[in-house]
Chain A
Amino acid sequence: MDRLVKRILPTSIAVGMGLLVLLGYLLPIPLLASVRDELIRWAVIIAAFAFILGFFNLLRVHSGRARKPGGMYSVILILTALISLVLTLAALLIPSLRFLGAWWFRYVLSPLQATVAGLIAFVLAVAAFRLLRHRREAGVLVFLIAALVVLLGTLPLPAPAGNWLANLRTWWMNVPAMAGMRGLLIGVGLGVLLIGLRILIGSDRPYSD
Chain B
Amino acid sequence: MIYCPKCGTANRQGSKFCNECGTPLPATGLRCPMCGATNPTGNLYCDRCSARLIPAERVPPEEEKAERPSPPKGISLPSVPLGEEGWLSELRAEAEPLDLLPEEEEAPERPEGLEAPTAPPTPEAPSPEAAIPDWLAELEAPTAPPTPEAPPPEAAIPDWLAELEAPIAPVSPEAPPPEVAIPDWLAGLEEAVPEAPLPAEKPIPPLAGIPVPPSETPEWLRDVEFAPPIYEEPSAQTPSVAALDIHAGVPPAAPTTVPPILIEEEEELLVTTPGEIPDWLKEAPEEAPPEFGGLIPAEIPEWLRALQPREEVTVEEEPAETEGFLIGLRGLIPIGKGLDIPATAQPPLPRAPSPAAVARAELLQGLLSRPMITPPTAEIREAPRQSGWVLTRFLVGVILLAAILLPMLVRLPLFGPPTAPTAEALFTTVNQLPGNTPVLIAWEYGPAESDEMDRVAGPLIEHLLRREARLIVVSTRMEGPAAAEALLASRLVDPSERSQRIANLGYLPGQAAGVREAIGNLGGRTEAMTGLPASQLEIMADVHSIADVGMVVILAAQPDDLKTWLEQISVANPNVPVVAGVSARVELISTPYLTAGQLRGMVAGLTGGAVYERQLDTGWGREYEYYLTSLGMAQLAIAALTVIGALIFLVGGRKR
Taking Cβ atoms with an 8 Å cutoff, the residues of A that contact B are: 25, 37, 40-41, 43-44, 46-48, 50-51, 92, 95, 98, 101-102, 105-106, 109-114, 116-118, 121-122, 124-126, 128-136, 144, 147-148, 151-152, 154-159, 162, 166, 173-174, 177-178, 181-182, 184-185
B418 CB within 8 Å of chain A: yes
Q: Which of B552-599 contact A (CB under 8 A)?
A: 571, 584, 588-589, 591-592
- Contact assessment for B645 and A151 in the assembled complex, using a CB-CB cutoff below 8 Å: no
- Contact assessment for B448 and A117 in the assembled complex, using a CB-CB cutoff below 8 Å: yes
A181 CA / B514 CA spacing, docked (Å): 27
Taking Cβ atoms with an 8 Å cutoff, the residues of B that contact A are: 392-393, 396-397, 399-400, 414-419, 446-451, 478-479, 482-483, 485-486, 508-511, 513-514, 516-517, 520-521, 529-531, 571, 584, 588-589, 591-592, 605, 607, 628, 632, 634-639, 641-646, 649-650, 654-656
Assess A110 versus B654: contact at CB under 8 Å? Given A122-B400, A129-B642. no
> A124 touches which one: B485, B511, B638 (CB < 8 A)?
B638
A125 CA / B171 CA spacing, docked (Å): 126
- Contact assessment for B514 and A130 in the assembled complex, using a CB-CB cutoff below 8 Å: no
- Contact assessment for B628 and A128 in the assembled complex, using a CB-CB cutoff below 8 Å: no
Assess A181 versus B447: contact at CB under 8 Å? Given A129-B392, A152-B635. no
Name 24 A/B residue pairs within 8 A (Cβ), A-sorted: A40-B516, A47-B510, A105-B483, A110-B450, A110-B483, A111-B447, A113-B479, A117-B449, A121-B638, A122-B400, A124-B638, A126-B393, A128-B641, A133-B645, A133-B654, A134-B654, A136-B654, A147-B642, A151-B639, A154-B635, A157-B414, A158-B415, A159-B416, A173-B588
A75 CA / B266 CA spacing, docked (Å): 108
> A37 touches which one: B486, B517, B605 (CB < 8 A)?
B517
- Contact assessment for A156 and B639 in the assembled complex, using a CB-CB cutoff below 8 Å: no
> B638 touches which one: A106, A128, A182 (CB < 8 A)?
A128
Report chain A residues within 8 Å CB of B482: 101-102, 105, 109
Main secondary structure of the interface of A (DSSP, over half): helix
Nearest-neighbor residue (CB-CB) of A101 within chain B: B482
- Contact assessment for B641 and A129 in the assembled complex, using a CB-CB cutoff below 8 Å: yes
- Please name 13 further chain A to chain B contacts, defined as beta carbons within 8 Å, in addition to the given A40-B513, A151-B635, sorted by A numbering: A40-B520, A47-B510, A95-B531, A101-B482, A105-B479, A113-B447, A125-B396, A125-B641, A128-B638, A131-B649, A156-B607, A173-B591, A185-B589
Report chain A residues within 8 Å CB of B417: 156
Report chain B residues within 8 Å CB of A156: 415-419, 607, 628, 632
- Contact assessment for A125 and B400 in the assembled complex, using a CB-CB cutoff below 8 Å: yes
Highest count of chain A CB atoms <10 Å: which of B588, B607, B654? B588
Shortest C-beta distance, B396 to chain A (Å), equals: 5
Nearest-neighbor residue (CB-CB) of A185 within chain B: B592
A95 CA / B482 CA spacing, docked (Å): 16
A121 CA / B451 CA spacing, docked (Å): 13
- Contact assessment for B529 and A113 in the assembled complex, using a CB-CB cutoff below 8 Å: no
- Contact assessment for A154 and B637 in the assembled complex, using a CB-CB cutoff below 8 Å: no
- Contact assessment for A155 and B513 in the assembled complex, using a CB-CB cutoff below 8 Å: no
Nearest-neighbor residue (CB-CB) of B485 within chain A: A102
- Contact assessment for B447 and A132 in the assembled complex, using a CB-CB cutoff below 8 Å: no
> A151 touches which one: B416, B486, B638 (CB < 8 A)?
B638
- Contact assessment for A116 and B448 in the assembled complex, using a CB-CB cutoff below 8 Å: yes
Report chain A residues within 8 Å CB of B446: 113
A177 CA / B588 CA spacing, docked (Å): 8
Nearest-neighbor residue (CB-CB) of B520 within chain A: A37
A158 CA / B645 CA spacing, docked (Å): 26
Report chain A residues within 8 Å CB of B448: 113-114, 116-117
A157 CA / B419 CA spacing, docked (Å): 11
- Contact assessment for B650 and A125 in the assembled complex, using a CB-CB cutoff below 8 Å: no
Assess A154 versus B642: contact at CB under 8 Å? Given A43-B513, A178-B588. no
A178 CA / B435 CA spacing, docked (Å): 36
